[in-house]
Amino acid sequence: MLEVAATGKAQALVDRARLWARHAEMARFGATPLGGVNRQALTAEEIDGRRCLIGWARELGFAVSMDDMGNLFIRRPGSDDSLPPVLTGSHIDTQPSGGRFDGIYGILAGLEALQAIDAAGIATRRAIEVVTWMNEEGSRFSPGCMGSLAFADPARTSDLSAIQDLEGVTVADALAGLRLAFPDVPARKLGFVPAAFVEAHIEQGPRLEKERKTIGVVTGIQGTRRFVVEVRGENAHAGTTPRRRRKDALLAALRIVAGLEKLMRDPEDVVRFTIGRFIVSPGAPSVVPGHVLFSIDFRHPDDAVLEMRGDQVEPVCRKHAGKCDVVVKQTSRTRPIEFAGLVPETIERATERLGLPHIHMPSGAGHDAQNLVKICPTGMIFVPCERGISHNEAENAKPSDLAAGARVLAETLVDLATR
Amino acid sequence: MLEVAATGKAQALVDRARLWARHAEMARFGATPLGGVNRQALTAEEIDGRRCLIGWARELGFAVSMDDMGNLFIRRPGSDDSLPPVLTGSHIDTQPSGGRFDGIYGILAGLEALQAIDAAGIATRRAIEVVTWMNEEGSRFSPGCMGSLAFADPARTSDLSAIQDLEGVTVADALAGLRLAFPDVPARKLGFVPAAFVEAHIEQGPRLEKERKTIGVVTGIQGTRRFVVEVRGENAHAGTTPRRRRKDALLAALRIVAGLEKLMRDPEDVVRFTIGRFIVSPGAPSVVPGHVLFSIDFRHPDDAVLEMRGDQVEPVCRKHAGKCDVVVKQTSRTRPIEFAGLVPETIERATERLGLPHIHMPSGAGHDAQNLVKICPTGMIFVPCERGISHNEAENAKPSDLAAGARVLAETLVDLATR
């Protein structure tokens, strides 16, 4: 019973005001005029955010290190450092129109838990590490969850390093810039098998708020298929070119999207189908546009649905392309995954001990935990966010909910690290 | 009969190879990898093009001057310089994905005509000037035909000067840069009433080529209405946000465009309806897009059609906006105009004397001539272009057709300047 007593002591030292203040401080890096954050992977803003985080860790006496994919680790040693550590954390990068909580909450809750455990004078058997995964959002470099992907499968390093952003900068180039910015952060080898991984995150959906629950014990993550569709027509003069001679890539793309909307129709509203990027060229008001490039993000908890409907994407695009050419490329594919056993059970016990209202729920969004689950016991803790709004500058959460999640996390970490 | 004899002598000295070589030389300024030209108004590329043109004019002994709106004039004096000159010319700016002939042909044909008239030793009563109108395309600064608009109505100068490009640079700023680039080009007062204006241009449509005619005597220009439509939804997470809670600005815009397509349906294919700019924000693959901005370019030779259908644009946008907000703004409106009398009659006589096959035809595209017609006798000469393709890097024309147009232009200018 020593562990449980110790844990109770740690969670009591989680400081709501301090955790909230760190979110406000971190939101300065990449702050947008509308109160959100644009802090994309390996940009100057993200590097500034890392510098701030490293400063806090070192002030608390924790060692930091970074691996070859830019994953950053903050370590509190255990009594037996020959054992693999327990890992917690999330990501510091955001969407271009991101909010102040998505990702960074999992890191700051981890740091808060570490500080509380330390202040409580608890010695854990295993070390606990707070990790900052590189490029979870995938908005600058695609695919997302890149750092955790390479961590779980270091053989992917070389193909991931060659990926370019829209300006032609490769991941390898950007990582070299990151290393230059932190000459005093020791390097560590990429990839190992942790004892367990726990990720705290805002829900990014409306369910906890609607059902008045504080904690979501996450049961799994839906699968995704992502595509890029290129429609090629012909630039032409808007004033002179008759309709029957046009190859208007925009109108073709609109017909294609209408066809895809039909393919993805779902009265039960479980299918998540989104066209988020849609670039029309040359983009001049008096030129019939000859080129459109658009993204498809398709998610579902049932892999059979992903398989069947996803396989229809290309035929539907071809069917509606008219006189234009169309090229469809699948850019990523993840299967639905499940969190079960040690970590979710430990989270649930902690939640019950703290008397916090909770539910079991799946995650609509992808998270780095989906890569960790392949190599170690893994689970996630969700806390509510306002109106379920995320990937939006208006993203918001309550200080009390964020602190509750950090308390559950602290309990869970001590429990796991004591095994 | 002196004039006709003199004219015949000038057209014979039009040099096809020289005219073609000048097009090739000019295409270097803003050259694109696909063989086209991106030389937008008042950019470094356009300024380089002007420098080349000024060099040619001065080598031939012609004086140059520039007015407050960046319109550039190359002058061959007449025997009575108290009389208003005859003007010819077009524009040097291009679309972002423009070709090697649109606009610049009218300037180079004018220079070729001037050189031929000079070589023939013809003294005209009136001066002849070749003008380069500023920002005809309207792709950097909207509206287009800006230099000729201010020339015909100098009272517009101050409002036009305040217009900004997408980077926030004003026309006034860009004009200051232009003046700095040419400290040795004398300034002249903006606006006067010319004796006449003639503009030579590639057709930018398929008709001359299809009907195997060399010259189009232009009868008028269709009217246009341009709009900008803004659709405002809400950014949201692609993985978590159920469809019924989304305010997807892209899907709303697609429904709106489908509605507009229906509004603009025309079995006779006379309506020109184009959405050339379509910008989706924030443009990240896993964010439901909260904002779309798109342009509408609507043209028709019948003003009643422009009036009726154009007035339906806003109601149709509102009808299909769903849960999104929509703002519709008309950005320009020109009525259909007619070229008749002195100039087209002079062009037709010259064409007949040269034995060139010709037709009378309207212009689908807008041109600077639409502003000049408000203040002086005006007309246009069209020459064929390959497959009617324009506003496209593949734009092409035959050296023999370009030379034929320049010969008609030389004849027409001598005729008009001798009156």
Q: Do B391 and A286 touch (CB under 8 A)?
A: yes
Q: Which of B235, B261, B363 should we substitute to test contact with A (largest number of A Cβ atoms within 10 Å)?
A: B235
Q: Do A258 and B258 touch (CB under 8 A)?
A: yes
Q: What is the DSSP letter of B123?
A: P
Phi, psi (degrees; rounded to nearest 5) at A95 = -70, 160
Closest residue in chain B to residue A389, using alpha carbons only:
B236
Whether A158 and A288 share a structural domain: no
Q: What percent of chain B has pLDDT over 70?
A: 98
Minimum-distance CB partner of A239 among B142, B241, B364: B364
Cβ contacts of A139 on chain B, cutoff 8 Å: 284-287
> How many Cβ atoms are within 10 Å of A208's Cβ, its own excluded?
23
Domain that holds residue B329: 223-334
Whether A17 and A140 share a structural domain: yes
How confident is the model over B76-102, as a mean pLDDT?
96
Q: Do B241 and A205 touch (CB under 8 A)?
A: yes
Distance from C-alpha of B91 to C-alpha of B364, rounded to nearest angstrom: 17
The pLDDT tens digits of the residues spanning A283-322 come to: 999 899 999 999 999 999 999 999 999 999 999 999 999 9
Q: Do A297 and B279 touch (CB under 8 A)?
A: no
Cβ contacts of A282 on chain B, cutoff 8 Å: 95-97, 276
Q: Do B280 and A278 touch (CB under 8 A)?
A: yes
Q: Identity (one letter) of the amino acid at B300?
A: H
Predicted local confidence at residue B391, as pLDDT:
87
Confidence of residue A167 (pLDDT cuts 50, 70, 90): very high
Whether B329 and B344 share a structural domain: no
Cβ contacts of A365 on chain B, cutoff 8 Å: 237, 239-240
* Beta-carbon pairs below 8 A across chains A and B: 241
Cis peptide preceding A282, ω within 30 of 0: yes
Q: Do A257 and B254 touch (CB under 8 A)?
A: yes
Whether A151 and A294 share a structural domain: no
Q: What percent of chain A has pLDDT over 90?
A: 92
A226 contact B CB<8A: yes
Closest-CA distance of chain A to residue B365, Å: 5
> How many Cβ atoms are within 10 Å of A394's Cβ, its own excluded?
17
A258 contact B CB<8A: yes
SS (H, E, C) B10-62: HHHCCCHHHHHHHHHHHCCCCECCCCCECCCCCCHHHHHHHHHHHHHHHHCCC
Distance from C-alpha of A275 to C-alpha of A289, rounded to nearest angstrom: 19
Whether A202 and A341 share a structural domain: yes
Whether B274 and B300 share a structural domain: yes
Whether B231 and B276 share a structural domain: yes
Q: Do B288 and A277 touch (CB under 8 A)?
A: no
Closest residue in chain B to residue A392, using alpha carbons only:
B235
Q: What is the DSSP string of A41-100?
A: TTSHHHHHHHHHHHHHHHHTT-EEEE-TT--EEEEE--S-TTSPPEEEEEE----TTB-S
Alpha helices in B142-245 (DSSP H): 146-152, 157-161, 171-181, 207-211
Cβ contacts of B251 on chain A, cutoff 8 Å: 257, 261, 275
Of B334, B369, B404, the last residue of a domain is B334
Report the SS3 class of residue B391: coil
Closest-CA distance of chain B to residue A370, Å: 14
pLDDT at A1 over 70: no
Whether A180 and A100 share a structural domain: yes
Q: Do B239 and A137 touch (CB under 8 A)?
A: no
Which of B 287-346 lie inside 8 A of A, CB atoms? 287-290, 295, 297, 299
**Token pair recorded at residue A411:** 């309990």
**To the nearest whole number, what is the mean pLDDT of chain A?**
95
Q: Identity (one letter) of the amino acid at B262?
A: K
Minimum-distance CB partner of A235 among B226, B248, B392: B392
Of A334, A352, A376, the last residue of a domain is A334
Predicted local confidence at residue A391, as pLDDT:
87
Whether B347 and B247 share a structural domain: no
Query: How many domains does chain A fold into?
Result: 2
Closest-CA distance of chain B to residue A392, Å: 5
B135 contact A CB<8A: no
Cβ contacts of A289 on chain B, cutoff 8 Å: 275-276, 278
Task: Kindly give the pairing relationship between strand A86-91 and strand A196-202.
Answer: parallel
Predicted local confidence at residue A2, as pLDDT:
43
Which of B 154-213 lie inside 8 A of A, CB atoms? 203-206
Minimum-distance CB partner of A96 among B95, B205, B284: B284
How confident is the model over A221-243, as a mean pLDDT?
94
The pLDDT tens digits of the residues spanning A51-64 come to: 999 999 999 999 99
Report the SS3 class of residue B141: coil
Whether B168 and B285 share a structural domain: no
pTM to 2 decimals? Answer: 0.77
Say which range, A5-14, B110-119, B280-289, has the weakest mean pLDDT. A5-14
**Token pair recorded at residue B74:** 């190359």
Q: Do A254 and B250 touch (CB under 8 A)?
A: no
**Token pair recorded at residue B348:** 């037709």
Contacts of B305 (CB under 8 A, 6+ apart): B271
pLDDT at B314 over 80: yes
Q: What angle do CA A332, A334, A338 make, to 5 degrees?
A: 165
Q: Do A284 and B95 touch (CB under 8 A)?
A: yes
Q: What percent of chain A has pLDDT over 70?
A: 98
B87 contact A CB<8A: no
Q: What is the DSSP string of A182-208?
A: -TTSPB--S----SEEEEEEE--SSHH
Predicted local confidence at residue B8, as pLDDT:
85
B194 CB-side CA count, 13 A: 33
Q: Do B365 and A299 touch (CB under 8 A)?
A: no
Sign of CA dihedral A188, A194, A195, A198: positive
A283 contact B CB<8A: yes
A18 contact B CB<8A: no
Predicted local confidence at residue B6, as pLDDT:
59
Domain with residue B258: its CATH number is 3.30.70.360
Distance from C-alpha of B87 to C-alpha of B76, rounded to nearest angstrom: 11
Q: Do B390 and A240 touch (CB under 8 A)?
A: yes
pLDDT at B3 over 50: no
The pLDDT tens digits of the residues spanning B241-287 come to: 999 999 999 999 999 999 999 999 999 999 999 999 999 999 999 89
Tokens 């995320």, residue located: A390
Phi-psi region of B31 (alpha: psi -120 to 50; beta: other; left: phi over 0): beta
Domain with residue B92: its CATH number is 3.40.630.10
Whether B107 and B180 share a structural domain: yes
A390 contact B CB<8A: yes
Which of B 56-75 lie inside 8 A of A, CB atoms? none
Answer whether B332's CB lies under 8 Å from B389's CB.
no
pLDDT at B4 over 70: no
Q: Do A274 and B288 touch (CB under 8 A)?
A: yes
The pLDDT tens digits of the residues spanning B326-381 come to: 999 999 898 999 999 999 999 999 999 999 999 999 998 999 999 999 999 999 99
pLDDT at B2 over 90: no
**To the nearest whole number, what is the mean pLDDT of chain B?**
95
What is the predicted ipTM? 0.78
Q: What is the DSSP string of A121-154?
A: TPPPSS-EEEEEES--S-SSSSSSSHHHHHHH-G
Closest CA to B175 of B39, B44, B53, B68: B68
Predicted local confidence at residue A19, as pLDDT:
98
Distance from C-alpha of A120 to C-alpha of A113, rounded to nearest angstrom: 10
Contacts of A155 (CB under 8 A, 6+ apart): none
Show contacts of B399-402: CB within 8 Å, 24+ apart. Answer: B399/B16, B399/B17, B399/B19, B399/B20, B400/B16, B401/B214, B402/B16, B402/B19, B402/B20, B402/B23, B402/B101, B402/B105, B402/B109
Distance from C-alpha of B280 to C-alpha of A13, rounded to nearest angstrom: 46
Q: Do A138 and B275 touch (CB under 8 A)?
A: no
How confident is the model over B78-91, as a mean pLDDT?
97
Predicted local confidence at residue B386, as pLDDT:
95
- Rounded to a whole number of angstroms, the distance between the first and last alpha carbons of chain A is 12
**Token pair recorded at residue A146:** 């890149």
Distance from C-alpha of B106 to C-alpha of B110, rounded to nearest angstrom: 6
Cβ contacts of B297 on chain A, cutoff 8 Å: 238-239, 285-286
Closest CA to A18 of A119, A102, A92: A119
A135 contact B CB<8A: no
pLDDT at A412 over 60: yes
Cis peptide preceding A96, ω within 30 of 0: no
Q: Which of B139, B241, B244, B251 should we substitute to test contact with A (largest number of A Cβ atoms within 10 Å)?
A: B241
Closest-CA distance of chain A to residue B388, Å: 8
**Token pair recorded at residue A252:** 């073709």
Q: Do B237 and A205 touch (CB under 8 A)?
A: yes
Q: Identity (one letter) of the amino acid at A123?
A: A
Confidence of residue B7 (pLDDT cuts 50, 70, 90): low
pLDDT at A3 over 60: no
Cβ contacts of A245 on chain B, cutoff 8 Å: 206, 388
Answer whether A93's CB lies under 8 Å from A47's CB.
no
The pLDDT tens digits of the residues spanning B204-220 come to: 998 999 999 999 999 99
Q: Do A96 and B282 touch (CB under 8 A)?
A: yes
Say which range, A31-35, A84-88, A172-176, has the weakest mean pLDDT. A31-35
Of A284, A307, A334, the last residue of a domain is A334
Q: Do B241 and A272 touch (CB under 8 A)?
A: yes
Minimum-distance CB partner of B285 among A97, A240, A276: A276
Whether B75 and B138 share a structural domain: yes
Distance from C-alpha of B411 to C-alpha of B415, rounded to nearest angstrom: 6
Q: Which of B218, B275, B286, B295 should we substitute to test contact with A (largest number of A Cβ atoms within 10 Å)?
A: B286
Distance from C-alpha of A26 to C-alpha of A8, rounded to nearest angstrom: 28
Closest-CA distance of chain A to residue B36, Å: 12
Q: What is the DSSP string of A240-308?
A: T--GGG-B-HHHHHHHHHHHHHHHT--TT---EEE---EEEES--TTEE--EEEEEEEEEES-HHHHHH
Q: Do B241 and A297 touch (CB under 8 A)?
A: no
**Token pair recorded at residue A36:** 């959100």
**Helix or strand holding residue B397 (H, E):** none
Q: Do A251 and B243 touch (CB under 8 A)?
A: no
B390 contact A CB<8A: yes
Distance from C-alpha of A176 to C-alpha of B75, rounded to nearest angstrom: 59
Report the SS3 class of residue A394: coil
